[in-house]
């Protein structure tokens, strides 16, 4: 299982941490942001595939912002999955952190 930590952009949460077991999402944690919503999202997406989460959350907006914490999670998952498939040619190398 690979561990990832992503810095977010344009949202209240500052970082998102998660694990991927192949393309299955586990242990999502948001740092900062709306407490209740950011506790619910990890429960809802745990065990889903990267593509399932991406399709459901990629276009979610927060108020007048162009993005949201769920949309940032979708992008982070997609980036990590692309990196896993082809680390040599991936557009962005994700930050990988050991989670204890």
pLDDT along the chain (100 residues), means of 10: 92 95 96 90 98 97 94 95 81 55
The reported pLDDT for the residue numbered 70 is 96
- Using alpha carbons, list the distances in angstroms from residue 51 to 24, 47, 79, 96: 9, 12, 11, 20
Domain extents in the chain: 2-85
What pLDDT sits at residue 66? Answer: 93
pLDDT attached to residue 86: 82
If 0-12 CB within 10 Å is exposed, 13-18 middle and 19+ buried, where does residue 91 land? exposed
User: For the structural domain made of 2-85, what CATH number should be given?
Assistant: 3.30.390
Regarding pTM above 0.75, the answer is yes
Residue 49: DSSP 8-state: B
């Amino acid at each position: 299982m690979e561990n990832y930590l992503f810095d977010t952009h344009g949202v209240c949460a500052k970082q998102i941490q998660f694990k991927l077991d192949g393309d299955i999402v586990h242990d999502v944690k948001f740092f900062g942001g709306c407490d209740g919503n950011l506790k619910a999202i990890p429960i809802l997406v745990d065990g889903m595939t990267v593509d399932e989460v991406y399709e459901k959350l990629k276009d979610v907006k927060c108020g007048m912002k162009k993005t949201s914490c769920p949309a940032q999670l979708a992008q982070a998952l997609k980036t990590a999955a692309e990196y896993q498939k082809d680390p040599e040619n991936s557009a962005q190398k994700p930050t990988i952190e050991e989670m204890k």
